[in-house]
Amino acid sequence: MDNIDRELLALLQADATQSYAALGEAVGLSSGATHERVRKLRRRGVIRRTSVDVDPAAVGKGVAAFVMLDASAWMGGEETAAALAALPWIEEAHIVAGAASLMVKVRTSSPEDLQAVLRRLHEVPGVTSTQTVVVLETFFERPLDPRGDSPRDQERPS
Amino acid sequence: MDNIDRELLALLQADATQSYAALGEAVGLSSGATHERVRKLRRRGVIRRTSVDVDPAAVGKGVAAFVMLDASAWMGGEETAAALAALPWIEEAHIVAGAASLMVKVRTSSPEDLQAVLRRLHEVPGVTSTQTVVVLETFFERPLDPRGDSPRDQERPS
DNA sequence: CGTGAAAGATTGTGCTT
DNA sequence: AAGCACAATCTTTCACG
């Protein structure tokens, strides 16, 4: 994982339809060498998959919300994960430390559907209460920058 | 936007490296017709881009957290968005309704770096307090299902 | 929406450093 | 090991029906 790999990841995040020739030119490598590096990034699991980014509003998921769930007893990890994964309106689910036990991100077509999903979340075994934060406007959602510097450094040189 | 389009979106989300011939076979269309549909989905903005999904831990972003920000005065949208976007450890930023004004998702390499990012968030003009929820374990993060049914329907037929 | 041909990309082999 | 250059194969992309 050198700087060329990180640069390739950033370029592929921005546009994965580019040819290896174009990618190679951007990082100063031949098409073949570039392809070989990307193949290794895939095999090592650094690149998990190539995907398309779909506009949520265009597929009837224009309403987003974060829901914090409290659990009474300790919820079996596997079991809870499966119950949440079965609800297709849940985009992410995490175990968290803080006020709540679980944090999930939900997308629905309307506030009414959001309410229906909340009702279903209350039916998940172990869930005792929910606290919902509705998204009014999204500033941005973007891929992580692989060229990571540390926030403890003074000023980032652009 | 018919069911074939939605099916194509789901297939492309799962693997955007497939050939149009393979996609076409899966939905019962020729390679040419499939390509035309996908081209239109791109042009209409339903598909925003093709990207690679990178393992956060592999690029030094193994720690995730959600931070809720409170604002004193009303924060100018554009200005705040720019200040947050300038911090590369912030993956998402939303205006929210509820206990807080803003919700952001942060990824860093360590708890120490998370603390440094929180310090920087306090320096954003208008921010008065932060409440942080640290992710201990991620169950899943997945693309939305474009074949959206409503949660108000009885039982989902698989 | 399908077919077929031209243009272009991907993937493999051999060779060099 | 890693990269380059050339060649074979497959895909995309453009006609036209």
Domain residue ranges of chain A, discontinuous segments joined by +: 3-44, 56-135
Q: How far is CA B62 from CA A132, B59, B79, B109, B112, in A?
A: 26, 8, 29, 5, 12
**Which of A121, A139, A145 to probe the B interface (max B CBs under 10 A)?**
A139
Can you say how many angstroms the Cα of residue B37 is from the centroid of all Cα atoms in its chain? 24
Q: Are the CB atoms for A69 and A121 separated by under 8 Å?
A: yes
Q: CATH for B3-44, among 3.40.50.280, 1.10.10.10, 1.10.357.140, 2.40.50.140?
A: 1.10.10.10
Nearest-nucleotide field for A18 (CA, C1'): C9
Could you tell me which residues come within 8 angstroms of residue B80 by beta carbon, excluding any fewer than 6 positions away?
Answer: A139, B71, B102, B124, B125, B126
Protein CA A19 to sugar C1' C3 (Å)? 27
- Which residues in 13-72 of chain A line strand D, with CB less than 7 A from it? 24, 28-33, 36-37
Q: Mapping DSSP to helix (H, G, I), strand (E, B) and coil, where does residue B10 land?
A: helix
Nearest to A71 by CA among A30, A123, A125: A125
Residue B76 exposure: Cα atoms within 13 Å on the Cβ side: 6
B135 secondary structure, DSSP code? E
* DSSP string for B45-73: TSEEEEEEEE-GGGGT--EEEEEEEEESS
**pLDDT tens per residue, chain B (158 residues)?**
899 999 999 999 999 999 999 999 899 999 999 999 999 999 999 999 999 999 999 999 999 999 999 987 766 678 899 999 999 999 999 999 988 899 999 999 999 999 999 999 999 988 999 999 999 999 999 999 998 789 998 664 54
Q: Does domain B56-135 have CATH number 3.40.50.10540?
A: no
Protein CA B33 to sugar C1' C4 (Å)? 14
CA distance B89 to B108: 6
Closest residue of chain A to B77, computed from CA coordinates: A139
CA distance A51 to B12: 6
Residue B19 Cβ under 7 A from any strand C atom: no
